[in-house]
Amino acid sequence: MTAQDQIKTTIDANDVVLFMKGTKSMPQCGFSSRVAGVLNFMGVDFADVNVLEDEGVRQGIKDFSDWPTIPQLYVKGEFVGGCDIITEMTLSGELDQLFETKGITFSKDAADKIREANG
Q: What is the pTM of this model?
A: 0.96
Taking the C-alpha atoms of residue 82 and residue 35, their distance in angstroms, rounded to an integer, is 8
Taking the C-alpha atoms of residue 103 and residue 73, their distance in angstroms, rounded to an integer, is 16
Give the pLDDT of residue 74: 98
Total residues found in the chain within this entry: 119
Annotated binding site for [2Fe-2S] cluster: 29
Give the pairing type, strands 78-81 and 16-20: unpaired
What is the share, in percent, of the chain residues with pLDDT greater than 90?
98
The number of C-alpha atoms within 13 Å of 88 and in the hemisphere containing its C-beta is: 6
Annotated binding site: 29
Confidence of residue 1 (pLDDT cuts 50, 70, 90): confident
Looking at domain 3-117, its CATH architecture is 3-Layer(aba) Sandwich (3.40)
Helix/strand/coil for 82? coil
